[in-house]
Amino acid sequence: QVITAGFDKKIIAWDIFGAKPLVYLRNLDAEVESMSLSGYELIIAVGSSVDIYDLRNSDKCVQSNKFCMDVPIRCVSSIPYLKGYAVGSVDGRVKLEISYPSSSNNIGYMFRCHPRSRDGRNHLVPVNDIAFNPFISGAFVTGDNVGYVTAWDAKSRRRLFELPDCANSIASLTYNNEGQIL
């Protein structure tokens, strides 16, 4: 099964062997900027909000969270080993929402991710993608619009390191299955 979202503001589940859609999951009010899948949860970024759908019952949104100050979202990424997600915005912010089922110690915080100095002033750069390491709990990387990839630790809320900048913007990030190659 393949799930698509397009400029027609629809989310559609497709049978990979057939030419017709299995089901129209949803007609939305706005275009989908990004989406991520974690188990049965489909996490989508629409405008400046994040909507979560349970694919077993996709008739309605299970949870909807508004991003701060109506800033458009550029990317959303589910966390592979926890219930939660991260959001990257066009103004260089990242927001993490992590729920721990065994405790009430949920994490939810936001930070400016890729500020760059230009003529002595901070220049905010959009966060294009976020990827979580599948084996190192809390470790994730962000890629920005001017070619930087930065590694972060969600638990300590600190930057770990920054890779040498690329000549172009970072459009997409992913780890291999073992989490050793980015």
Q: What are 140's strand-pairing partners?
A: 132, 152
Structure-token pair, residue 108: 């939810």
Whether residue 144 is contained in a domain is answered as: yes
What would the DSSP string read from start to end of 28-70? Answer: -SS-EEEEEEETTEEEEEETTEEEEEETTBTTS-SEEEEPGGG
In a domain, 130, yes or no: yes
**Domain span holding position 74:** 67-162
DSSP 23: E
Q: What is the pLDDT of residue 115?
A: 64
Q: Report pLDDT for 165.
A: 86
Q: Is the pLDDT of residue 127 over 70?
A: yes
How many domains does the structure of the chain reveal? 1
- Whether residue 50 lies inside any domain: the answer is no
pLDDT at 93 over 80: yes
The pair of three-digit structure tokens given for residue 166, joined into one six-digit string: 């690329």
Domain assignment present for 117: yes
pLDDT band at 171 (very low <50, low <70, confident <90, very high): very high
Instruction: Say if 78 falls within a structural domain.
Output: yes
Residue 56 has pLDDT above 90, yes or no: no
Q: Is residue 2 part of a domain?
A: no
User: Is 35 part of a structural domain of the chain?
Assistant: no
* pLDDT at position 151: 95
- Summarised one tens digit per residue, pLDDT across range 76-86 is 999 988 888 99
Position 81 in a domain? yes
Q: What is the mean pLDDT of the chain?
A: 86
What number is the average pLDDT over the span 30-56? 89
Mean pLDDT throughout 69-74? 82
In which residue are the tokens 């909507």 written? 51
